[in-house]
């Protein structure tokens, strides 16, 4: 499993998760990577965090972490991958990594890191700018898929 984050200003950390993700492990991952990513992106403590509704993300320990650190978390509807722009970054990685590089864990990880590091700044900027259009299309489709 892979965790990563981004903002309009670029890409944050990319983390490989080898063990089963629990709420406690997720909080440790955030403690080690969220603030360093925000700092790298020039946002310090001035951001709203977006995540999906994975049970580990919404666990009590994770909620307590966000509250104690005063990190606002964007409320997110279930089953809404059209709205989550990071899904498009994962798709880009998936498209750019040949199947031949997926047979060996070490080689696959290196390929993921390489592709992640080569994503141009325009990619996250365009994803962030596309959010209003995604929402508008969803409303036009009475809550249905936006086509993204």
Alpha carbon distance, N-terminus to C-terminus of the chain: 23
Q: What pLDDT does residue 85 have?
A: 87
The structure tokens listed for 89 are 């970054």
The domains of the chain, with CATH numbers, are 2-86+121-140 (3.30.420.10)
Who's near 115: CB < 8 A, 6+ residues apart? 92, 93, 96, 97
> For the segment 122-132, what is each residue's pLDDT rounded down to a tens digit?
999 999 998 88
Alpha helices in 41-118 (DSSP H): 60-68, 86-96, 105-117
pLDDT-derived band at 148, boundaries 50, 70, 90: low
pLDDT-derived band at 24, boundaries 50, 70, 90: very high
Q: From the DSSP assignment, how many helices (H) and strands (E) are in the chain?
A: 6, 2
> For the segment 66-121, what is each residue's pLDDT rounded down to a tens digit?
999 999 998 877 766 667 889 889 999 999 999 999 999 999 999 999 999 999 99
């Amino acid at each position: 499993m892979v965790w990563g984050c981004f903002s309009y200003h670029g890409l944050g950390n990319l983390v490989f998760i080898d063990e089963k993700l629990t709420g406690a492990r997720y909080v440790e991952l955030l403690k080690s990577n969220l603030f360093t990513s925000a700092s790298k992106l020039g946002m310090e403590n001035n951001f709203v965090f977006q995540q999906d509704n994975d049970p580990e993300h919404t666990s009590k320990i994770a909620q307590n972490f966000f509250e104690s650190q005063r990190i606002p978390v964007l409320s997110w509807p279930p089953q809404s991958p059209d709205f989550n722009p990071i899904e498009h970054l994962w798709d880009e990685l998936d498209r750019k990594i040949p199947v031949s590089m997926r047979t060996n864990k070490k080689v696959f990880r290196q390929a993921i890191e390489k592709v992640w590091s080569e994503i141009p700044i325009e990619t996250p900027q365009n994803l962030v700018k596309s959010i209003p259009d995604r929402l508008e299309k969803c409303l036009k489709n009475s809550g249905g898929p936006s086509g993204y």
